[in-house]
Amino acid sequence: VTGPAFTLFFAGDAYSTAKKIMGRQSAGEAMIKGVARTWPTGRIAAFGPGDHPVGLERQLAGHGFGGKVTWSQGLTGPAASGLGAAYYPAPPVPELAHARNTVSPGAYSLIGVTHTLSSTGAMDQIGRMVLAPFQPWDALICTSRAALDVVNRLFATHEAWAKEHLGATRIQRPQTPVIPLGVDTERFAPDPAARRAARTALGLADGESVFLFAGRLSFHAKANPAPFYAAAQTAAAGGRRIVAIEAGVFPNDYARRAHDQARAALAPDVRFLTVDGADRAAYDSAWRAADVFVSLSDNVQETFGLTPLEAMAAGLPVLVSDWNGYRDTVRDGVDGYRIPTFAPPPGGGDRLAASHSDESLGYDHFVGLLSLVTVVAPEPLAEAVQRLADSPDLRARMGIAGRARACESFAWPVVLHRYDALARELASLRPATPPAAVPWPGRPEPLNLFAGHPTATVRGHWIVARTPGLSTTAVDDLIGLTIANYGFMPAHLTEGDVRTVFDALAHGPARLDAVASANPDRRRGVFALMWLGKFDLVRLTPPA
């Protein structure tokens, strides 16, 4: 009886949503279910703290596993050479590589996987890999091309520092294959009867177009809802019956009030339903009742994005931002629509990096400030919302295509077989000579680090113009919203910066560099233009 060629590092909190519902835990929990169903009678090798894998055995058995679990408490005992490849559910820590070296650098391979890469802890974890004795037969799985781009930038920054300051001449990276996370396609399979019951329970009428956002209801750390609210309002003002379901958990009352305020101001003609994400039955009903799934992520905290895949598995068309991992999973015009995103050019975020590094700026504020200068293009978004609201046939075609793609390319058994193939490939590279250790440098500037996330970065020769048809109070109205003004602070962006660059456009369109330079601090001038673009007060257009 065979099993996977990799050995699982098992720590319960990495594979369970019992205590914390985040993308990492959701993916880990679904992975264990996938392992049980991919190798239902196989041998699962595992290692970790403690002397017996009770939690792993119980979790596997709950998903129908009838095979055998073998357990190793550490990585340095006599049986270490039989581990093959040790899978760690995060970027592998240097201690794992050092532990292996006490046996042999070629004793086994180490495999880790990326999750969020924007926190100081995550950046440090990648940086520590440069210093540690990882080998060519080790791998850090990047869940998206955007994640790979960030990892490569972090590696390059640390390696350059080591070469210049320490004279390092031999630096070894692990392999960095791009393999997506998986999705439980069985759980999300469409069920027409359940859909009818869910719509009835939620009081949804025929003729209402239901757009669902599911996830953390955090405007600063997940997705600012302003672009969707505005697009939904445009559709509703045109006579369409738009219902927006927001299913999830607010981090606090402050976030809840901010969403309430923004809905009333930006989408007064849209009917909103809020569903508690902690209520599993209600949460599932929200999914069943939806016509379209929406996730307009604008946050560097996101690197892959499970919910669009879950929506595809559920047979829903998806409306997403053209951002990070969404660019790998959703086919624009086939499974749904990817809306272009724009970010400032690299080089303007050095102060953010410094403040994030010394902890004078908290993590939530760090990612939130970057979100505020990320634009989700308003015109194509509004057009996509209207097309999806108007055409049940289009929604059905996209939903069928998305489910087929989810089952063929992203079901956990498919992904786990790719993990297994990677483990076997790495085995063919062992053994080799021990690598030399190298030091690790600091953190890079964020707008350069995350330059691979958006569709494009704006440049000085782009044309900026006020959005046609604005009311005389448009800027004041947006500045008065918590969802827009929470980022105003002297070191980053101020109300004065916004008004200065907006006034500079009073006589018509102009080049971005000229308008930004109208502000005493040109860097803040660029941020102010991006802020105005985010809330559709100006339009940013590359020259033909």
**Got the DSSP string for 188-250?**
T---HHHHHHHHHHTTPPTT-EEEEEES---TTTT--SHHHHHHHHHHHHTT--EEEEEEE--
Which residues neighbour 28 within 8 Å (Cβ) at sequence distance 6 or greater?
14, 15, 16, 89
**Residue 390: its pLDDT value, please?**
98
Q: How far apart are CA 394 and CA 369, in angstroms?
A: 36
Domain of 530 in residue numbering reads as 453-541
What one-character DSSP code corresponds to residue 154? H
Please check whether residue 92 lies inside any domain of the structure.
Answer: yes
Q: Which of 410, 435, 463 is the last residue of a domain?
A: 410
Query: Residue 385 and residue 390: Cα distance in Å, rounded?
Result: 9
Give average pLDDT by consecutive 10-residue segment, the chain, 544 residues. 86 70 77 93 86 83 92 68 85 86 85 93 91 91 96 94 85 94 94 96 95 95 96 97 97 96 98 95 96 97 94 98 96 98 94 90 93 97 98 98 98 96 94 40 66 92 95 93 91 92 94 94 94 95 87
Helix axes 306-313 and 23-38, enclosed angle (nearest 10): 50
**For residue 465, which phi and psi values (nearest 5 degrees)?**
-145, 150
Residue with tokens 């100081």, as numbered in its chain: 120
Query: Do 483 and 393 belong together in one domain?
Result: no
Same-domain pairing of 205 and 330: yes
CA dist., res. 451 & res. 154, Å (int): 12
Go through 64-98 and write b for each residue having 16 or more CB atoms within 10 A of its CB, e for each that does not. Answer: ebebebebbeebeeeebeebbbbbbbbbbbbebbe
* Residue appearing with tokens 């990492």: 24
Q: Are residues 165 and 273 in the same domain?
A: no
**Residue 68: how many CA atoms within 13 Å on its side-chain side?**
5
Query: Would you state the pLDDT for residue 78?
Result: 57
Question: What is the structure's pLDDT at 383?
Answer: 98
CATH label of the domain that carries residue 32? 3.40.50
Query: Do residues 406 and 422 share a domain?
Result: no
**What pLDDT, on the 0 to 100 scale, is given for residue 229?**
98
C-alpha neighbours within 13 Å on the C-beta side of residue 132: 24
Q: Are 207 and 265 members of one domain?
A: yes
Element (H, E) at 85: strand 85-87
Nearest to 158 by CA among 445, 439, 346: 439
pTM of the model: 0.82
Find, among 374, 540, 528, the residue nearest to 451 by Cα.
374
Instruction: Verify that 126 and 246 share a domain, yes or no.
Output: no
